């Protein structure tokens, strides 16, 4: 596999394009990091004889695809969340894929109704809770608006895609007016201005700055797996919200075939491979995410957190309410 790493700003790509094209290949634009993609791609190359070239970037891939148009060399885009998948679709940059293999491996609520994108993994928007000050108790996202949490909540920016997706799911379940009221009360309960990443929220709880926070499951997994970060992570429980009703909100990583893919047949082979048992198992072990294919084992650490009920709201519905979610976050001045 030939990979080219983008610098942290934009998509300032090494050499600016794919290199050494092969007769049978797939070219990928990826928001996902190389440590996660490389093991899967290398196994695919070995099993199929198809070469894979990857461009990694932190942002700007949709803009690059639009700029390249019909001349693009990219066949497949790998993304880190539902908002980027929908951005590709909304801008008309991806194509539908008709594959019985993918449809059998990826549940309907985790793929686009028009088959223009497909989830590869899921992650839960958990509640991190102080072992000392909150404990291992049932909680819901709605509870975070209650007076008992006044001055006790930490979170990252409301404009971050993970937060926007959660707010979007709240709109889908409760409507715009009730979600705005909920957001207003959650803001009033914040211990500090929204800031930092998910690991930063765990650090804040450990430091006594707040009692609970929102955070993705795999960040917690990475911290408890790191000897230097484990003492901090050991201060919190990872809780699955809304277990008595609809289940915990999930987000996804995913894939989409580009509109002008020059190697469409080979790209679809890779897409099918990524939803299969082997690739799904690698995803689960390497990044501590949840496989989308039913029956694939979770990592030992993730399994130790126990089974949970997931919200089966269609990802397309979550994405549909994203503009409204952004509007409400502005209206309540959540980040100010």
Given a cut of 50, is residue 18 above it in pLDDT? Answer: no
What pLDDT was estimated at residue 270? 97
pLDDT tens track for 40-52: 999 999 999 999 9
Closest by CA position to 126, among listed 287, 294, 289 = 289
**Hey, is 241 helix, strand or coil?**
coil
What pLDDT was estimated at residue 160? 93
For the chain, the average pLDDT equals 91
Tell me the backbone φ, ψ of residue 76, rounded to 5 degrees.
-145, 145
Q: Do residues 172 and 312 make contact, with C-beta atoms less than 8 angstroms apart?
A: no
State mean pLDDT over 154-167: 95
Given a cut of 80, is residue 16 above it in pLDDT? Answer: no
Closest by CA position to 303, among listed 313, 290, 312 = 290
pLDDT tens track for 123-135: 999 999 999 999 9
What pLDDT was estimated at residue 13? 38
Looking at domain 123-249+311-331, its CATH class is alpha beta
Distance CA 287, CA 240 (A): 19
Distance CA 191, CA 152 (A): 5
Tell me the backbone φ, ψ of residue 82, rounded to 5 degrees.
-65, -30
Residue 161 tokens, joined: 């895609």
Given a cut of 90, is residue 37 above it in pLDDT? Answer: no
Helices (H), 33-175: 34-48, 61-68, 82-90, 100-105, 161-174
The neighbouring-strand residues paired with 5 are 56
Global pTM value: 0.87
Closest by CA position to 190, among listed 139, 151, 148 = 151
Given a cut of 90, is residue 1 above it in pLDDT? Answer: no
Distance CA 291, CA 252 (A): 10
pLDDT tens track for 292-315: 999 999 999 999 999 999 999 999
What pLDDT was estimated at residue 86? 93
Percent of the chain with pLDDT over 90: 84
pLDDT tens track for 227-263: 999 999 999 999 999 999 999 999 999 999 999 999 9
What pLDDT was estimated at residue 110? 96
Expressed in angstroms, the distance from the first to the final Cα of the chain is: 45
| Domains 2-122+252-304 and 123-249+311-331 belong to one CATH topology | yes
What pLDDT was estimated at residue 36? 79
Q: How is 284-306 classified by DSSP, letter by letter?
A: HHHH-PEESSTTPPPPHHHHHT-
The residue among 296 and 35 whose pLDDT is bigger is: 296
Percentages (nearest 5) of helix, strand, coil residues in the chain: 45, 20, 40
pLDDT tens track for 57-114: 888 999 999 999 999 999 999 998 898 999 999 999 999 999 999 999 999 999 999 9
Distance CA 70, CA 271 (A): 21
**Domain assignments of the chain as residue spans, ordered by start:** 2-122+252-304, 123-249+311-331
Is the CATH number 3.40.190.10 carried by domain 2-122+252-304? yes
Tell me the backbone φ, ψ of residue 57, rounded to 5 degrees.
-155, 160
Angle between helices 277-287 and 34-48 (to 10 degrees): 160
């Amino acid at each position: 596999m030939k990979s080219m790493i983008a610098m942290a700003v934009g998509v300032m790509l090494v050499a600016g394009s794919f290199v050494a094209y092969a007769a049978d290949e797939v070219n990928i634009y990826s928001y996902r990091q190389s440590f996660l993609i490389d093991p899967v791609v290398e196994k695919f190359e070995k099993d199929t004889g198809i070469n894979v070239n990857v461009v990694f970037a932190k942002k700007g891939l949709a803009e690059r695809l639009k700029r390249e148009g019909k001349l693009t060399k990219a066949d497949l885009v790998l993304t880190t969340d539902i908002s980027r998948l929908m951005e590709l679709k909304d801008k008309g940059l991806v194509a539908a894929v008709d594959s019985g293999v993918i449809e059998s491996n990826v549940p309907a609520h985790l793929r686009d109704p028009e088959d223009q994108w497909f989830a590869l993994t899921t992650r839960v928007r958990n509640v991190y809770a102080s072992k000392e000050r909150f404990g291992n108790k049932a909680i819901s996202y709605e509870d975070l608006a209650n007076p008992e949490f006044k001055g006790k909540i930490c979170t990252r920016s409301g404009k971050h895609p993970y937060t926007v997706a959660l707010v979007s799911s709240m709109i889908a379940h409760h409507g715009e007016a009730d979600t705005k009221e909920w957001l207003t009360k959650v803001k009033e309960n914040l211990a500090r201005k929204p800031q930092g990443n998910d690991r930063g929220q765990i650090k804040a709880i450990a430091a006594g700055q707040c009692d609970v926070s929102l955070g993705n499951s795999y960040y917690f997994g990475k911290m408890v797996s790191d000897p230097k970060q484990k003492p901090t992570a050991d201060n919190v429980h990872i809780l699955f919200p809304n277990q008595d009703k609809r289940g915990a909100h999930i987000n996804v990583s995913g894939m989409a075939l580009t509109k002008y893919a020059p190697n469409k047949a080979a790209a679809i082979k890779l897409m099918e491979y990524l939803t299969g048992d082997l690739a799904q198992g690698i995803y689960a072990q390497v990044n501590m995410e949840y496989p989308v294919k039913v029956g694939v084992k979770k990592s030992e650490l993730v399994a130790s957190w126990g089974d949970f009920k997931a919200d089966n709201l269609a990802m397309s519905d979550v994405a549909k309410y994203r503009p409204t979610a952004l509007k409400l976050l502005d209206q309540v001045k959540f980040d100010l």
